[in-house]
Amino acid sequence: MAIFNYAAREMTAKIVFYGPGLSGKTTSIQYIHTKISPKSKGKLVSLATETDRTLFFDFFPVEFGTIGGFKVKFNFYTVPGQVFYNTTRKLVLKGADGVVFVADSQPGMMEQNQESLANLKDNLTAHGIDWETVPFVIQHNKRDLPTVMPLEEMRRVLNVRGVPDYETSATSGMGVMEAMKGICKLVLEDIQQKQRSASKGSKPSAAPAAPVGAPPTPPTPTKEGAGAATASPPPAAPASAPSPRATAGQERTARVEGGEVTRSYTLPVHGPGDHPVSLALPLALTVGEGVDGVQISVRVEVKYLTNGAGAVTVRDLAPEVGAPPEPDAPVESPPKKGFFGRLFGGG
């Protein structure tokens, strides 16, 4: 599953190229690596035998720029196609956010394609990944060869989910980048949908009404500042009051050990204009039993020196730094020129 680093505002997703041996998985990932801008890619690590059959996996991280305030990174892997390396294939597949199945279009390879696809389903299930919903595309590879299986037949047998599929030639690069862009798009859409669902599911429900006979809860005293306030416990119900069947949820304010937390940062300003600023405030939370959720509030105060001619204004770029996006706030759509343009060095 995708890894979110809210402190660094980074998201890392994992895409795995799967398929039978010698179907073109490694060649595909090598071609992608050559087409990516050097400033946006990491080193390609490949472990192979003398016959260029991948024993473990190929891996390289790619940075896709920034989307929705997060720096997006993809890690691309390939797995060994040989059946006797299934343990390694299963290990590499763990935590995958998307899969590219590279099928071999050569006549006589349909059985191997089917075996590899069935193995993929089994390994996804073993990791608790739903085969029916995981982002998935198919490369019908080696379509440049003079003799290949009919595309309609390959689609009928292999593309039972009706996912996007592509005619490719990993050696020439035909269709490879289109397949890569397709799986990246599906993974981003899937992550966005999961984030929205998680945000909706985490919204607290309204607190139940206080039981009849129970005294009203006194207001919680608070103390100004970014620090904490002392919460007074509610008074015990009188002996004559009926015992409630459930305890109503109460909002309290946590104490900050040592008093209020105050951090001061001095930032150099190089000329007028907009200056985006990101600050980290490390905190340690000790959560006891019975706590359903924690909300952290941060107060920002900006002081500046001026000779009277200039002023500083502050606006919030991230309404809830460190929290998932609101369910109704869609991830920013990157401009058509720039999302993959930054990746491949184009405009």
Question: C-alpha angle 274/279/283, rounded to 5°?
Answer: 160
Cα–Cα distances (Å) from 63 to 23, 157, 175, 334, in that order, read 27, 35, 21, 14
Provide DSSP, 200-230. HHTSPPPPPPPPTTPPPPPPPP--SSSS--P
Q: What size, in residues, is the chain?
A: 347
How far is the CA of 121 from the CAs of 45, 133, 136, 282, in angstroms?
A: 26, 12, 12, 41
Residue 98 inside a domain? The answer is yes
Range of the domain at 92: 3-201
Q: How far is CA 90 from CA 60, 123, 127, 133, in A?
A: 19, 6, 8, 18
* 296 found inside a domain: no
Lowest mean pLDDT among 19-28, 67-76, 106-115, 158-167: 67-76
53 falls within a domain: yes
The verdict on residue 285 lying in a domain is no
Which of 36-50, 96-110, 246-260, 278-292 is predicted least confidently?
246-260
For 171-227, the pLDDT digits (tens) are: 999 999 999 999 999 999 999 888 888 777 655 444 444 444 444 444 444 444 434
Of residues 143, 23, 38, 117, the one with CA closest to residue 78: 23
- CATH number, domain at 141? 3.40.50.300
Side chain identity, residue 326? E
Beta-sheet pairing, 3-5 with 70-78: unpaired
The reply to whether 171 falls in a domain is yes
Cα–Cα distance between 325 and 334 in angstroms, integer? 17
The pLDDT value recorded for residue 72 is 87
- 117 domain-assigned: yes
In a domain, 268, yes or no: no
DSSP state of 69: T
**Position 137 in a domain:** yes
- Residue 108 falls in which region: left (phi positive, over 0), alpha (psi -120 to 50) or beta: left
Token pair of 130 as six digits: 């739903």
- Cα angle for residues 47, 50, 56 (degrees, 5° grid): 25
Q: How many domains does the chain have?
A: 1
For the segment 122-137, what is each residue's pLDDT rounded down to a tens digit?
999 999 999 999 999 9
